[in-house]
Amino acid sequence: MSLQSFRILGRSGLRVSSLCLGAMTFGEDWGWGASVDETTRIINTYIEQGGNFIDTANIYTNNHSERIIGDVVGKNSSLRTQMVIATKFANNVFPGNPNTGGTGNKSLITNLEDSLRRLQTDYIDLYWIHSWDFSTPMEETMRSLDNAVKSGKVRYIGVSDAPAWKIAQAQTAAWFKDWTPFIGLQIEYSLLQRTVEDELIPMARELGLGITPWSPLKGGLLSGKYNRANNGNADGRLKTRNADMQLTEKQLEIIDELQRIAGIHHTTPAAVALSWVNNKPGVTSTIIGVRSVKQLEDNIKATNLLLSADEITSLDKLSAPPPTFLSDYKDLIASMQHGGMEINGFKPEALPLLKNIQPGQY
C-alpha cells in the first residue's frame, strides 16, 4: 500500500488517499505550526508521494491555512484538478458577529465565499460541518448545503464532531427530501480515544459515511516522542499546551507496546499507531498533522506497515475503553438471542437461565 492506493470515501465516487494531509499546522499563527516555506515543502512532498487529499478549515491558523493552500494548490489549475481539497465551516472567524458562526444559511454562504476566495478556487471538493450547531434547525443546514452543491461551488459534504443521533436524523432527512447526503464523518479516533466505537462508527458504516479520523496520534502523544523515560517531559505541541502533563499508567503501557511492535517491524511507534487506526473497519483516510517534511515521511511509512493479528489484538486489549451501557450490554443481548449458536463468527455463551429449556416447554 502507498499514498497512491486510493479508497472510496463513503457512499460516493470520490477517491482519496489513505492518509489525508491535515492543515491545522499550516502557518505559525497559533504558535506551534510550520512556517510558510516548510508548509509549502510539506504539501509538495505529499503530492510527490502520490497523496491527493488535503483537509483544512476556515478557522485554522486564523484562516492562514486556507490561504497557504490557495497559494500552493488553488492557483495552479492542473494541480487543483488533481487534488481533493476539503475545508470546514461553523466556527466563527469574526468574533462579535453572530451570523458568521454556526450552520445557518447566512453563515454558510458567507463562509463558503470567503473560503473559495482564500483557497483561490471555484469549488470545494468536500465541505464539512466543523461541529454541530444545535441552535439552527437541521433542515435549514441540510437544505443550504444541498443548495451549495447544486450551485457547483461544493462537490460533496461531510460532518465532523456531532452526535450519532443528530447525524442519523440529518442523513435520513436528506434521503427523503432528495437533498445531498453526507459522505464523510470526521471524528477523533486513536488508541487513546476509542469511545467513538460505541455509536459513531457503527452509525457511519450503516449510513454510508467514510470515516476520516483526526488526532490519530493523540496530539503527538503516540508519536514516539513521549515514553516512560521522560514521562511526557518532551518538547512539542502537547507540552506547549499542557506544561504539567503526566502520563497515566495505561498511556505508558500502550506506548511501551507501540515501541515493542515498532522494533519488530523496524519502524516508528507513530507508524504503528497510524497503521492500527487506518485499518480499522469503516476508516477511509486518516488525517495526519505534521510540522516538517521529516514527520510527513515518517508518517507515510504507516501505509506500508501490515500489523499481525496478534499485534492488533494486543493493542486492542491495552487500549480498550471502559464499557458504556450499550457496549456492556451487547454480549448479554447476544447470549439471549443466539441460543448458544455461532452467528457471523460470534458465539456467545447461552444465558444460563435458558440452558435447560427444551423444545415444547412453552
Distance (Å, whole) CA 92 – CA 106: 12
Q: Are 236 and 270 in contact (CB under 8 A)?
A: no
Which helix or strand (DSSP H or E) is residue 316 part of?
A: helix 309-319
Find the helix packing angle between 269-278 and 249-265, rounded to 10°.
100
Q: Name, in order, each residue with C-beta under 8 angstroms of 362's C-beta and a sequence gap of 6 or more.
A: none
> How many residues does the structure list for the chain?
362
Q: Name, in order, each residue with C-beta under 8 angstroms of 173's C-beta and a sequence gap of 6 or more.
A: 138, 139, 142, 179
The single residue of 60, 156, 189, 226 carrying the catalytic annotation is 60
Locate 183 and state its grid cell: 459522505
Q: Which amino acid is at 101?
A: G
Task: Kindly list the distances between the CA atom of residue 324 and the CA atoms of 194, 196, 330, in Å, as whole numbers in the listed order.
Answer: 12, 11, 10
Ramachandran angles phi, psi of 194, nearest 5°: -120, 10
For 71, the 3-state DSSP assignment is: helix
What is the 8-class DSSP label of residue 361?
Answer: -
286: β partners: 19
60 is catalytic: yes
Q: Name, in order, each residue with C-beta under 8 angstroms of 59's C-beta and a sequence gap of 6 or more.
A: 88, 91, 92, 93, 130
Q: Name, in order, each residue with C-beta under 8 angstroms of 26's C-beta and a sequence gap of 6 or more.
A: 33, 34, 39, 42, 56, 60, 61, 64, 65, 68, 69
Angle ∠(281,168,346) on CA atoms, nearest 5: 40
Q: Which residues are catalytic?
A: 60
